[in-house]
Amino acid sequence: MRAHGEFLAGAVGELAGVSGTTIGQWARWGYIRASQSDGDPHVYSLEDVAEAVMVKALLDRGVSRPMIRRAVAHLTDYGDWPLSEARLATSSNGRRTRIVLRDDDGAYALSPRGWQQMVAPPPLEDVRLRLRRAG
């Protein structure tokens, strides 16, 4: 899949609901990438914006940063923009929020060992892409 558009970190942050500095940090930490340019300044695509929005949605639900990094590492089958391509949901048991991958075969919770199929999935809340309006 080809990347579309060119956005600087400030514009990406505005669409995702975070600062441009946060977008740069997320790119350095591997949550998202600047698919249009790795040099300075980083230039992001519309697809990168979608990934940033998904990271923000997961963080807002209480998913830890290491868990997001682990999800990105374990979703390589979903291409260059795995968080927005995969059918993700979250599940919370009161202590921590987990990332769950929905598949035609069932639901898979992300664990330190990778995706583990859930025999009796708890209630799941889908993570959907939502761009934010400025103002």
Q: Set out the domains of the chain in order of their start, with CATH numbers.
A: 9-126 (1.10.1660)
The reported pTM is: 0.89
Task: Give the C-alpha separation, 7 to 48, whole Å.
Answer: 9
Instruction: Give the pLDDT of the chain (135 residues) as one tens digit per residue.
Output: 677 888 999 999 999 999 999 999 999 999 998 888 777 888 899 999 999 999 999 999 999 999 999 999 999 999 889 999 999 999 987 678 999 999 999 999 999 889 999 999 899 999 987 665 555
- Residues 68 and 58 sit within 8 Å (Cβ to Cβ): yes
Of 123, 30, 43, 128, give the one whose Cα is nearest residue 80: 30
